Amino acid sequence: DLATALNDRGQVRYLRVEFAAAVQDFTAAIECQPRFEVPYYNRGLVRYRLGDFDEAMKDFRKVLELNPQFEDAALSLKQAILDKEEKQKRGY
C-alpha cells in the first residue's frame, strides 16, 4: 500500500543520509495511514539523530500510544529523554 511504500522510501533516504527527504516520506506515510506506527518510529529516529529531541519524543510517544508493545520505541524514548537532559546540563 502507499503508506508502506512511502515508509520504505523514507528508510532508503535515511540510509543515504537524506534526512529532510526521509522526514517528508515518513510524514506522508503517517498522513496516508495515521494508525501505522512504524513511520512515526522512523521519523522519530531521524529527528533524534538531528538532535531534535522534543519532536523525536513526540513521535516515540505516539508509537507507544498506538502499540504499547513496541520495545524499540520505548528504548528510543528513554534515550531521547536522557540525551535531552544531558544537553540541558551542558547548556546547549
How would you classify residue 17: left for phi > 0, otherwise alpha for psi between -120 and 50, otherwise beta? left
The pTM for the full model equals: 0.94
The arithmetic mean of pLDDT across residues 79-91, rounded, is 92
State residue 92's pLDDT score.
72
Residue spans of the domains in the chain: they are 2-91
Q: Which CATH superfamily is domain 2-91 in?
A: Tetratricopeptide repeat domain (1.25.40.10)
How would you classify residue 90: left for phi > 0, otherwise alpha for psi between -120 and 50, otherwise beta? alpha
All three cell numbers of 67: 502499540
State residue 91's pLDDT score.
81
Q: What is the pLDDT of residues 21-65, one digit of tens each?
A: 999 999 999 999 999 999 999 999 999 999 999 999 999 999 999
All three cell numbers of 11: 528508510
